[in-house]
Amino acid sequence: MSAVLTRLSIKPLHPLFVAEITGIDLTMPVAREDFRAIWDAFNEYQILVFRDQPFDDESQIAFSRNFGALETMEAHPGNHFKPSHIAVMTNLDAQGNLLPLDHPSMIHRLRNEAWHTDSSFKPVAALCSLLSGRVVPPAGGNTEFASGRAAYAAFPEARKAALEGLTVVHRVAEPSNVNDPAYNEEQKQRLTVTHPLIRANPVNQRKNLYVGSHAQEIVGMPREEGKALLDELTAFCTQPQFVYNHPWRQHDLVIWDNRCALHRATTFDKTKYRRKMHRTTVAGMVPESAFASMPQAGAA
């Protein structure tokens, strides 16, 4: 099946970041020129919104691979310890019935309601995530996004200089929660990594704060002091002026840049409404196969 070139329209949704793109059907093969425009918009706006994209898992995976190789999710209660390229965030069982709030999957998914970046606990952190709204509640269940790039830009130069060069420990699980059943000891050890506190987009060199719930210590700093600084920086990033709240419609696709944007799910009446979202996550490599002229940056 041949790809079709379209005329894309890009509309900002927030003064600092986020854009909606119309004029394209992402469930079909995407022309190189169109994906080039999407890639450029992704690096500029950090969050992209596409309406009316009725994906199934096969077409979502196919489009996601334009960005690069897909991650396989870690095994945990939220995927019944059966990981794949698709992560399903839902309050429904396999038969479509509402899960009780004390079900292990529901308890695990509460983690998504804390500010975080996907896979920051991996040695090569995620490039982007793509979330497809398959079943959307009539009230609540929004997703909020915060720009670590806009927050960093708002700091005075002296504060930027003081933060430059700091290194942060990211973990898949809180070290204090030694009895956490979600991850085994091998996962907890393997998924404890370090990343710079200040990162730069290799395409446009724009810097950002890289924080969130997985960021738990600062190398060379007393643990409590480092955690307090990280909490302060996350709170700064998530001030209202740096946040976009996305109210979901069925068949929305939202793509976010995990290198520079935090996100969190907001709650809804999980005992009354149904919600089912399918996410693909792209590993943190520049999609060299798509653009021969793209900077050779490796992990982003």
pLDDT in tens, 189-218: 888 999 999 999 999 999 999 999 999 999
Q: How far apart are CA 1 and CA 27, in angstroms?
A: 12
Domain with residue 89: its CATH number is 3.60.130.10
pLDDT at residue 55 in the model: 98
Looking at the domain assignment, is residue 287 inside a domain?
no
Q: Where are the beta strands (DSSP E) in 112-209?
A: 128-135, 143-147, 167-171, 192-196, 198-200, 207-209
Please give the model's pTM, rounded to 2 decimal places: 0.90
pLDDT at residue 73 in the model: 77
Q: What's the domain range around 210?
A: 9-282
pLDDT at residue 285 in the model: 66
Looking at the domain assignment, is residue 43 inside a domain?
yes
Looking at the domain assignment, is residue 298 inside a domain?
no
Domain count, the chain: 1
Convert the pLDDT of each residue in 271-289 to its tens digit. 999 999 999 999 986 444 4
3-state secondary structure of 236: helix
pLDDT at residue 300 in the model: 38
Looking at the domain assignment, is residue 176 inside a domain?
yes
Q: Which has more confidence, 188 or 256?
A: 256
Looking at the domain assignment, is residue 292 inside a domain?
no
In one-letter notation, the amino acid at residue 149 is R
Looking at the domain assignment, is residue 293 inside a domain?
no
Least confident of 53-57, 183-187, 263-267, 269-273: 183-187
pLDDT at residue 20 in the model: 98
Looking at the domain assignment, is residue 169 inside a domain?
yes
Looking at the domain assignment, is residue 47 inside a domain?
yes
Convert the pLDDT of each residue in 66-89 to its tens digit. 999 999 876 666 565 676 899 999
